[in-house]
């Protein structure tokens, strides 16, 4: 077997060949085959004798076969900006393995935008709208926050303005930076509620300096959002219980949660809000609640939440292995607890909440079988009582939290 092919990935900006440093130019000249988008390939036409090939469509499933076909050729790849920042370089590292890549970096659109605006790169929130829902912007909105949106196309700036107005951030200042780094680079400015600029160049970045409108909801980063942050029918893990539940679940970057009997989705949504790489499946049997979960996830900036419409335990078959499971409803249905425990990865966490005596009996039996901790929460809220104010207690909730052993 011959040596493993190395693929050279070259970042290139909107200024094309003129903006490439010598290592990037040398890599382009040395390639026998250059892969890239039509725009990137046009930027180097005439500067290389390589066979210029646009990516196949759809690209991702074709990549293994494409690189197998080119195994005996010197292959270069052109990437827009920094190949490893929301770029093809990161995709190729997953598909081919990082050891097969040589990356020639270039300033990203984020670095260029921050340089133009005088913003510290480590002080901005970056949201890519390229092939991703724009609703993800909602998760990072906060008074004083600085947000950079990597646009899908020329229509993205107006869509961002509309989203900001709807979210209560219409007073936010917007700057659209088009063709960053190119000789014809330009910028347009305004506020979200007064955005009147027509669509411009599709290659743009939207910078937002967030200003909350008076009375706009300001969402905390920690679990325990107000109950009225959700559209719900009463089937909702209440704020104080939700905060304790999420503390026991302990979301970590990249982990997957099953929210079984998700109701209106609050636990899964706040799991996703804990980190942008967290993943969650909300399993819900009733159509109106499943529809509300989708709306709530969009509103609170985590549209990646996957809703599984069905009744547990049958609906759990074939789902990817969870790192954590929350059983908020349906624990009394035969087989739900056992199925969740069996599916949970070793070392994973399971949390179950019980309100009824029947559910509590199952939680106690689960603890007897698997161990873990029991917590009982009783919350009272001040409410009018005649001409005075008194405490109105909610139903107590028993929380069972347990970690599955690493080897069972």
Q: Are 81 and 109 in contact (CB under 8 A)?
A: yes
Asked if residue 135 and residue 65 are part of one domain, the reply reads no
Looking at residue 408, its pLDDT comes to 55
Asked if residue 397 and residue 312 are part of one domain, the reply reads yes
Adjacent-strand bridge partners of 308: 283
For residue range 334-375, what is the model confidence (pLDDT) as tens digits? 999 999 999 999 999 999 999 999 999 999 999 999 999 999
Looking at residue 212, its pLDDT comes to 97
Q: Is residue 2 a part of any domain in this protein?
A: no
Adjacent-strand bridge partners of 175: 189, 207
For residue range 31-81, what is the model confidence (pLDDT) as tens digits? 999 999 999 999 999 999 999 999 999 999 999 999 999 999 999 999 999
Asked if residue 368 and residue 282 are part of one domain, the reply reads yes
Q: Is residue 196 a part of any domain in this protein?
A: yes
Q: Is residue 216 a part of any domain in this protein?
A: no
Among the three residues 49, 84, 106, which one is the final residue of a domain in this structure?
106
Number of domains in the chain: 3
Q: Is residue 68 a part of any domain in this protein?
A: yes
Asked if residue 70 and residue 19 are part of one domain, the reply reads yes
Give the span between the Cα atoms of 142 and 287, in whole angstroms: 32
Q: Is residue 220 a part of any domain in this protein?
A: no
Longest Cα–Cα distance in the chain: 87
Asked if residue 374 and residue 388 are part of one domain, the reply reads yes
Query: Which residues of the chain are modeled with pLDDT < 50?
Result: 1-2
Q: Could you tell me which residues come within 8 angstroms of residue 14 by beta carbon, excluding any fewer than 6 positions away?
A: 179, 180, 181, 182, 185, 203
Asked if residue 102 and residue 118 are part of one domain, the reply reads no
Looking at residue 29, its pLDDT comes to 95
Neighbours of 220 (CB within 10 A): 11
Looking at residue 37, its pLDDT comes to 94
Asked if residue 157 and residue 25 are part of one domain, the reply reads no
Asked if residue 390 and residue 257 are part of one domain, the reply reads yes
Asked if residue 256 and residue 190 are part of one domain, the reply reads no
This model's pTM is above 0.85: yes
Asked if residue 140 and residue 96 are part of one domain, the reply reads no
Asked if residue 329 and residue 240 are part of one domain, the reply reads yes
Residue 48, domain CATH: 3.40.1010.10
Looking at residue 3, its pLDDT comes to 58
Q: Tell me the Ramachandran region of residue 242: left when phi exceeds 0, alpha when psi lies from -120 to 50, beta otherwise.
A: alpha
Looking at residue 122, its pLDDT comes to 95
Domain carrying residue 102: 7-106
Asked if residue 44 and residue 121 are part of one domain, the reply reads no
**Is the Cα torsion angle 187, 189, 192, 195 positive or negative in sign?**
negative
């Amino acid at each position: 077997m011959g040596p493993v092919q190395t693929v050279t990935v070259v970042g290139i900006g909107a200024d094309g060949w003129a903006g490439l440093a010598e290592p990037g130019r040398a890599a382009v000249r040395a390639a026998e085959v250059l892969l890239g988008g039509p725009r990137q390939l046009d930027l180097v036409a005439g500067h290389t004798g390589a066979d210029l090939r646009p990516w196949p469509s759809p690209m991702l499933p074709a990549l293994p076969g494409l690189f197998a076909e080119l195994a005996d050729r010197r292959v270069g790849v052109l990437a827009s900006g920094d190949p490893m920042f929301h770029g093809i370089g990161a995709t190729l590292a997953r598909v081919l393995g990082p050891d097969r890549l040589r990356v020639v970096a270039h300033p990203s659109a984020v670095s260029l935008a921050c340089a133009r605006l005088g913003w510290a790169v480590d002080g901005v929130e970056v949201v890519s709208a390229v092939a991703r829902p724009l609703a993800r912007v909602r998760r990072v909105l906060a008074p004083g926050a600085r947000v950079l949106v990597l646009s899908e196309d020329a229509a993205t700036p107006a869509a961002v303005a509309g989203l900001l107005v709807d979210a209560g951030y219409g007073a936010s200042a917007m700057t659209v930076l088009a063709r960053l780094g190119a000789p014809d680079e330009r910028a347009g400015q305004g506020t979200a509620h007064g955005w009147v600029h027509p669509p411009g160049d599709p290659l743009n970045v939207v910078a937002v300096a967030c200003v909350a409108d008076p009375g706009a909801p300001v969402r905390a980063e920690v679990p325990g959002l107000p109950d009225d942050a959700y559209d719900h029918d009463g089937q909702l893990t209440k704020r104080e219980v939700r905060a304790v539940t999420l503390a026991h679940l302990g979301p970590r970057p990249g982990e997957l949660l099953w929210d079984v009997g998700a109701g209106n989705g609050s636990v899964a949504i706040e799991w996703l809000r804990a980190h942008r790489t967290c993943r969650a499946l909300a399993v819900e049997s009733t159509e109106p609640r499943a529809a509300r979960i989708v709306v709530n996830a969009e509103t609170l900036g985590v549209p990646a939440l996957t809703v599984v419409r069905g009744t547990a335990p049958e609906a759990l078959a074939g789902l990817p292995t969870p790192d954590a499971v929350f059983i908020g409803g349906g624990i009394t249905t035969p087989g739900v607890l056992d199925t969740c425990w069996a599916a949970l990865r070793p070392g994973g966490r399971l949390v179950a909440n019980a309100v009824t005596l029947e559910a509590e009996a199952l939680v106690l039996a689960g603890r007897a079988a698997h161990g873990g901790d029991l917590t009982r929460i009783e919350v009272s809220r001040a409410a009018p009582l005649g001409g005075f104010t008194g405490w109105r207690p909610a139903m107590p909730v028993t929380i069972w939290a347990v970690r599955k052993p690493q080897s069972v």
